[in-house]
Homo-oligomer: A and B are copies of this chain.
Amino acid sequence: MGDVTLTVCTTCRRADVDPEATRPGSILLAALRETGLPEGVKVRGVECLSACTRGCSMVLSGGDKRWTYVYGDLNPDEHVDDILAGAAAYAATDDGLVPWRARPVIFRKQSIARIPPVDSPTQE
């Protein structure tokens, strides 16, 4: 367990955000750091997750044995507590599969994609 990373896109923005203003992803990244990360969770910024129409966006990942999730439509003013709670629940699992009802609503409704672990069994 542990070794979980939140990767926040610091470039993307919603259409209603002034392009000259600090990008929501940068604000989200700073807010996550200030609020205090759960044990075993770190955060990093990247310049583009190619999910630009769903910004701001973020990846939740945790090593070779966990599913990886991509989330979008995040709002740094509203979602910091839910993101941290969801990351803590994810970090407490071995495979990244948090029971549906235990996930924050934003993780249930704003998932863009999920990616299976490297060694996940294949289905025909």
Q: Which of B44, B48, B69, B120 contacts A46 (CB 8 A)?
A: B120
Counting every copy of the chain, the complex holds: 2
Interface residues on A, range: 20 to 34
Instruction: Determine whether the beta carbon of B46 is less than 8 Å from that of A113.
Output: no
Q: Supply 30 A–B pairs (Cβ within 8 Å), ascending by A.
A: A7-B115, A7-B116, A10-B123, A10-B124, A26-B124, A29-B124, A44-B120, A45-B122, A45-B124, A46-B116, A46-B120, A46-B123, A47-B123, A49-B113, A49-B114, A49-B115, A49-B116, A50-B111, A50-B114, A51-B112, A51-B113, A59-B115, A61-B115, A61-B118, A68-B68, A70-B70, A70-B112, A112-B113, A113-B113, A115-B115
Binary contact readout A57-79 vs B (1 if CB under 8 angstroms, 0 otherwise): 10101000000111000000000
List chain B residues, Cβ under 8 A from A59: 113, 115-116
CB of A55, distance to nearest CB on chain B (Å) = 11
Instruction: Determine whether the beta carbon of A70 is less than 8 Å from that of B115.
Output: yes
Task: State whether the Cβ of A5 lies closer than 8 Å to any Cβ in chain B.
Answer: yes
